[in-house]
Amino acid sequence: MSALTQLPAWQALWDHFADAKHHHMRDLFASDPQRAERYALEVGGLFLDYSKNRITDDTLRGLMQLAREAGLPTKLKAMFKGEKINSTENRAVLHVALRNRTNSPILVDGEDVMPKVNSVLARMGKFCHAIRSGEWLGYTHQPITDVVSIGIGGSDLGPLMVCSALKPFGHPRMNMHFVSNVDGAQLKETLKKVHPETTLFIVESKTFTTQETLTNALTAREWFVARARDEKAVAKHFVAVSTNKKAVAEFGIDPANMFEFWDWVGGRYSLWSAIGLPIMLYLGEENFTELLNGAHIMDQHFANASFEQNMPVLLAMIGIWYINYYGGGSHVIAPYDQYLHRLPAFIQQLDMESNGKQTCLDGSPVDFETAPIIWGETGINGQHAFFQLLHQGTHISPIDLICSLQNSSSLPGHHEILLANVFAQAEAFMRGKTAEEVREELAAQGLKGDALEALVPHKVFGGNRPTNTLLMDRLDPRNLGSLIALYEHKIFVQGVIWGINSFDQWGVELGKQLAKTIHAELAGKLDDAPHDSSTKALIRRYRRANAGQ
């Protein structure tokens, strides 16, 4: 048995569950007129209504007790203090230092990291100002109009998601492009849209060894040099963001054009570091600082609020309730905001790469579920697609409905319709529709007798389906910063409860090794490497199809 399942609070919650699983939220609301008020919380510009969950005061008490028994208070302090909590890579985990706006010292191996953080931020600020103001000129003395960010995974998704989310704050002259896929189609299509004289390429890679990124960067560099006909022009059009100065220099980017970050910044937690350079270029230094400020507000709240009033802790522990007790293995992210259309993909990586683990910190296997499958889409589109399963399917998938109260960029009349859908869906998921209500509805439409009764079971909705409603005052850099940090900390808390390492990613590393041998075989540089018969046949088939090319 794992340490977690032996905790008294873990068992006590099972005892509570035996009774609680029979509760219907409809009854919980009916018996407590204050429920919505009591199960809501505001942090900065974010408001969370968590009342439409299958929880009672006893559930929350039990969950908070579990958080304490699992050592959350100590682990939380350890992260903020820069202890090496990423034990399999022997690294600190300090995305909170990147937005530590109070500047209080944070030590790693006895050294305060804040001066380095501030100095890179200042360099980024200067560079971005030069590009945005038009002072930085390309090799034909023209200002930069297009930025192509080349990276993948954690070195792509964060900047891509934030730049899409905050488009209304973007520089009007700047067009942002993101290339991650080694399928040449993405780079090819991007290069069709840009001009070498006015394009800046940012090569983003923590390790600077990632095959997809380096292949794309090399092709982009060749494309550029073939047109500029001058190697020296590269200095005006290529910059790198990395922890690996040597590899950047070997690639052919002057380290003077490199923005640094450090091993204690995890890829999927790196948008606050120099990896956020495309964000700062697009939004400007002030807005990037606002993004950091928003995250810092959430960091402070997470570090200091009581667990009972702590937004990341509440979201995490309510998640644990479903994952480990109800056995709900999936969680839906449904932003009701077109600008947030990449948020589900971003949170999917953040959560599944962090907590998709089956080994406890001490090396023993887990004997409970860990990260749920995270998926989603803009809510309004989801309504016309997979929401059917969420309403009437056999799975319980909690849903985060995310939207903003004000939407200055929408066209007149649209935002009200959007928000009406958010609130209506949350209500429907909670209430459902009883057989009696269906009968009344059908009778009002003129149906009766057998025809009416035959339809009733199909139109009944059980309800009792959990949602969290997250409202932002408005979608701006500060509130987006708080929202992202909220999910980062939620994921951290769940990792602590499960006693796993949320900050390594051996599954991703495996992918980086696997293709190497087969790549050599496909290229005809290696024959007869040991494989199963299926893999061998696939390789042969590829080679036959491409023979003579």
We find the least distance from the C-beta atom of residue 277 to ligand G6Q, in angstroms, to be 13
Q: What tokens does 365 get? A: 């296997």
Q: Given candidates 44, 62, 82, 153, which one binds ligand G6Q under the rule CB under 6 A?
A: 153
In total, the chain counts a number of residues equal to 549
Stretch in the footprint of ligand G6Q (CB under 6 A) among 125-133, 191-199, 204-212, 218-226: 204-212
Query: Bridge partners of 404?
Result: 472
We find the least distance from the C-beta atom of residue 414 to ligand G6Q, in angstroms, to be 35
Q: How many helices (H) and strands (E) would you count in the chain?
A: 24, 13
Residues 6+ apart with CB under 8 A from 131: 143, 144, 200, 281
86 binds ligand G6Q per the rule CB under 6 A: no
207 binds ligand G6Q per the rule CB under 6 A: yes
Which whole-number Å values give the CA distances from 131 to 80, 141, 231, 269, 525, in the listed order? 34, 12, 21, 26, 44
Residue number, 164 or 502, with CB nearest to ligand G6Q: 502
Among candidate residues 421, 382, 430, the one with its CA nearest the CA of residue 403: 421
Residue number, 267 or 463, with CB nearest to ligand G6Q: 267
We find the least distance from the C-beta atom of residue 50 to ligand G6Q, in angstroms, to be 28
We find the least distance from the C-beta atom of residue 269 to ligand G6Q, in angstroms, to be 7
Please give the distance of CA 537 from its chain centroid, rounded to a whole number: 38
What single-letter DSSP state applies at residue 5? Answer: G
Contacts by residues 363-367 (CB-CB < 8 Å, ≥ 24 positions apart): 364/2, 366/2, 366/498, 366/499, 366/500, 367/1, 367/2, 367/5
Contact indicator for 132, 284 with CB cutoff of 8 Å: yes
Residue number, 28 or 352, with CB nearest to ligand G6Q: 352
Q: Which listed residue (433, 512, 531, 536) is catalytic?
A: 512
We find the least distance from the C-beta atom of residue 34 to ligand G6Q, in angstroms, to be 42
Q: Which listed residue (353, 377, 488, 521) is catalytic?
A: 353
User: Exposed (0-12), middle (13-18) or buried (19+): which is 306, by Cβ within 10 Å?
Assistant: exposed
We find the least distance from the C-beta atom of residue 185 to ligand G6Q, in angstroms, to be 20
Q: Given candidates 51, 86, 190, 210, which one binds ligand G6Q under the rule CB under 6 A?
A: 210
Stretch in the footprint of ligand G6Q (CB under 6 A) among 265-273, 288-296, 335-343, 459-467: 265-273
Please give the distance of CA 415 from its chain centroid, rounded to a whole number: 25
Does residue 353 carry a catalytic annotation? yes
432 binds ligand G6Q per the rule CB under 6 A: no
Phi, psi of 126 (to 5 degrees): -65, -45
What is the rounded end-to-end Cα distance, in angstroms, of the chain?
A: 57
Does residue 285 carry a catalytic annotation? no
Residue number, 221 or 268, with CB nearest to ligand G6Q: 268
| 404 membership: H or E segment, kind and range | strand 399-406
Report d(CA 110, CA 82) in Å as an integer.
10
Q: Which listed residue (22, 141, 192, 384) is catalytic?
A: 384
Residue number, 264 or 321, with CB nearest to ligand G6Q: 264
Residue number, 353 or 400, with CB nearest to ligand G6Q: 353
331 binds ligand G6Q per the rule CB under 6 A: no
We find the least distance from the C-beta atom of residue 267 to ligand G6Q, in angstroms, to be 3
We find the least distance from the C-beta atom of residue 87 to ligand G6Q, in angstroms, to be 16
Residue number, 3 or 345, with CB nearest to ligand G6Q: 345
Contact indicator for 282, 170 with CB cutoff of 8 Å: yes
Q: Given candidates 206, 237, 331, 342, which one binds ligand G6Q under the rule CB under 6 A?
A: 206
Exposed e or buried b for every residue in 406-420, given b needs 16+ CB within 10 A?
ebeeeeeeebeebbe
Residues 6+ apart with CB under 8 A from 67: 307, 313, 316, 317, 493, 496, 497
Q: Given candidates 45, 62, 154, 278, which one binds ligand G6Q under the rule CB under 6 A?
A: 154
Three-class HEC string of 255-274: HHHEEECCCCCCHHHCCCCH
Instruction: Please give the size of the binding site for ligand G6Q, defined by CB under 6 A.
Output: 15
Q: Given candidates 95, 236, 268, 439, which one binds ligand G6Q under the rule CB under 6 A?
A: 268
Q: Given candidates 63, 152, 240, 343, which one binds ligand G6Q under the rule CB under 6 A?
A: 152
We find the least distance from the C-beta atom of residue 29 to ligand G6Q, in angstroms, to be 40
Stretch in the footprint of ligand G6Q (CB under 6 A) among 3-11, 180-188, 205-213, 230-238: 205-213
Q: Given candidates 213, 216, 289, 383, which one binds ligand G6Q under the rule CB under 6 A?
A: 213
Residue number, 383 or 501, with CB nearest to ligand G6Q: 501
Q: Given candidates 44, 45, 82, 266, which one binds ligand G6Q under the rule CB under 6 A?
A: 266
Does residue 260 carry a catalytic annotation? no
278 binds ligand G6Q per the rule CB under 6 A: no
Residue number of the CB closest to ligand G6Q reads 153
Among candidate residues 167, 107, 126, the one with its CA nearest the CA of residue 274: 126
Residues 490-519 that bind ligand G6Q (CB under 6 A): 505, 508
Q: How crowded is the C-beta side of 178, counted as CA atoms within 13 Å?
A: 23
Whose tokens are 């979608």? That residue is 475
We find the least distance from the C-beta atom of residue 156 to ligand G6Q, in angstroms, to be 8
Contacts by residues 503-509 (CB-CB < 8 Å, ≥ 24 positions apart): 503/85, 503/86, 503/89, 503/91, 503/93, 503/266, 503/354, 504/86, 504/88, 504/89, 505/267, 505/353, 506/88, 507/353, 507/356, 508/153, 508/353
Which whole-number Å values give the CA distances from 55 to 51, 98, 178, 334, 494, in the listed order? 8, 35, 42, 21, 18
Residue number, 273 or 397, with CB nearest to ligand G6Q: 273
276 binds ligand G6Q per the rule CB under 6 A: no
Q: Given candidates 49, 351, 353, 377, which one binds ligand G6Q under the rule CB under 6 A?
A: 353
Q: Which residues bind ligand G6Q (CB under 6 A)?
A: 152-155, 205-207, 210, 213, 266-268, 353, 505, 508
Q: Which sequence positions are flagged as catalytic?
A: 353, 384, 512
